Amino acid sequence: MSAAPGRPYRRAPLAPFAAAVTGVGLVTAAGTGADAAWHGVTEGLAPSVGPRPELDGLPCDFFYSVTDCDPGAILGVAAQRLMDRFAQLAVVAAREAVADAGLDPAVWDSGRVGIVIGSAHGGLPFYDEQHAVLTDRGPRRVSPKLAPLSVVNGAASSVSLDLGVHGPSLAVSTACSSGTVAIGTAHQMLRSGACDIVIAGGAESTCTRLLIASACSLKAVSTRREDPTSACRPFDTHRDGFVVGEGAGLIVLEHPDHARARGAAVRAHVSGYGASSDAHSAVAPDPEGLGIERALRTALADAGLSPADVGHVNAHGTSTLSNDLIETAMLHRVLGESPLVTSTKAMTGHTLGAAGGIEAAFAVLALQRQLVPPTVNLDAPDPRIPIEVVAKEARATSFDCAVKTSLGFGGHNAALVLTRA
């Protein structure tokens, strides 16, 4: 169908569709396992962060690490050797999410199960390692495993192999919005009837000297070396950049009919999704936040909800000077002052392509438990930020709708609307 002359074509909106979230898997610097990670972010426990030898001499020499998870012990050493670390973390999270959902890969219809996992950099550490091998030892010593271990689809591939999934297996790479876009894509796959179950989210592990040095040159990361635990300070007057972290956050989404038929316990619903492009800059968001506003309004319309319905926002909240101002001004413009906003990056670090998956999982848990996690390092709220940020301590409240927003380098924006089961 073509549009009438002079008038843009707009398709009729689809009927609202709520995908059931039946399982959650988390591997983060705040804790491994959904319960441990949730306890870490809600209680404000000190995350695993500290100097890394590979970062010696850089203005930022620290990193938020996963320290309470040994993938080799869980997956087996032989399997571990066939995955870069980001894929290992994804498989650990996927196993937890599937078990949490009460699903048995031995009996499910594997052709009706899909996987969508986002990552910004994929197996960058292995790629860097092999580049050093090429430089120092010559081409004959380069590993033949470079391609399968370094590519961005390594997490999705590894999870499909581990669980025996034969449905669509996709990798999403839209920088720091990758995990959110992955969950939105899963929502669309279920709505279309392509799958009955989709495992979706994000995974990342990128502690390399090259990446952190570049982030330092961009002046995007914190240089608070004297106190790295409190270096990530979203919405704080004294914020000076984010801290890179590693982790994985995956959720199991099911078509509501499928979840109902098997009597699944539903934690929450993914009810709306929106995405947009800024078309403004390779590294900076649109200064008016128009792109992320478009994504959020699209997600609300997709869910058939209004801004007044939103009770909580897990924001992108990177702790950079401009992002926090742009995002919060947009949230105030669209949602007003009523939603309780938080950034859990203060406890997990900025996990780049995994961030949306991890933070959407936290939004699911917040809805289920009616508790908003705090922004733990918010000591001096920036007076220019016009929204209510939950600081220091988790806040019990009553709400039926939460929003997850994500912005990525290159102008990739995404938003999810989640609703209470």
Catalytic residues: 176, 316, 350
Tokens (6 digits) for 194: 């392509």
Burial code (b: 16+ CB inside 10 Å, e: under 16) for 339-363 equals bbbbbbbbbbbbbbbbbbbbbbbbb
Determine the Cα–Cα distance for residues 53 and 76; give it in Å rounded to an integer: 27
Report the amino acid identity of residue 236. D
CA dihedral (209, 213, 215, 216) in degrees, to 10, reads: 140
Q: DSSP letter at 263?
A: T
CA distances from 13 to 191, 272, 299, 303, 410 (A): 13, 12, 11, 10, 27
- Phi first, then psi, for residue 189 (nearest 5°) are -65, -40
SS3 content of the chain, % helix, strand, coil (to 5): 40, 20, 40
Determine the Cα–Cα distance for residues 113 and 23; give it in Å rounded to an integer: 14
Q: DSSP letter at 112?
A: G
Determine the Cα–Cα distance for residues 105 and 95; give it in Å rounded to an integer: 10
Taking each continuous run of H as one helix and of E as one strand, the counts in the chain are 14, 16
